[in-house]
Structure 1
């Protein structure tokens, strides 16, 4: 199912829903523009979120964008561990619903 070449099909979505997709691309560009957070920090956040949501397209795209923004192996590793901690922490804290008082 996962094939990076399929991303070329987004042009079809752009053509079928041009207004909404133009708004999406504008939003996406605005979000990843330099601001209070640097571009590399935004991409490291995106990598961690992508790992957490387990979207292979997002992992690949944001890994490349993070690298292009200057992210190091160490920064990517720490972002991955933050993602792992958040997923594990969610399981731990939701375990409180397993026990009656």
Structure 2
């Protein structure tokens, strides 16, 4: 939207492609749960935050209630993911499994 200065087909395409990629990545959630926790897991929260912000931005610019709902859902997911990451990080710190010399 910032490239075109308005809500256009290109911005809509990019946001739609981001939704498709997010759905593809979400199919890997079961495999991710089996992996041991590492601080790099925090990187999972950044794309969710970016997609939430993009959804709200598009909803505002296009006056789209559907995108506002998608953004709210993604924001709720982001809050849950960050809460889980805080919990897992605290648990790993107590167990002495992170921030240790290799």
**TM-score, with length taken from structure 1:** 0.31
**TM-score, with length taken from structure 2:** 0.31
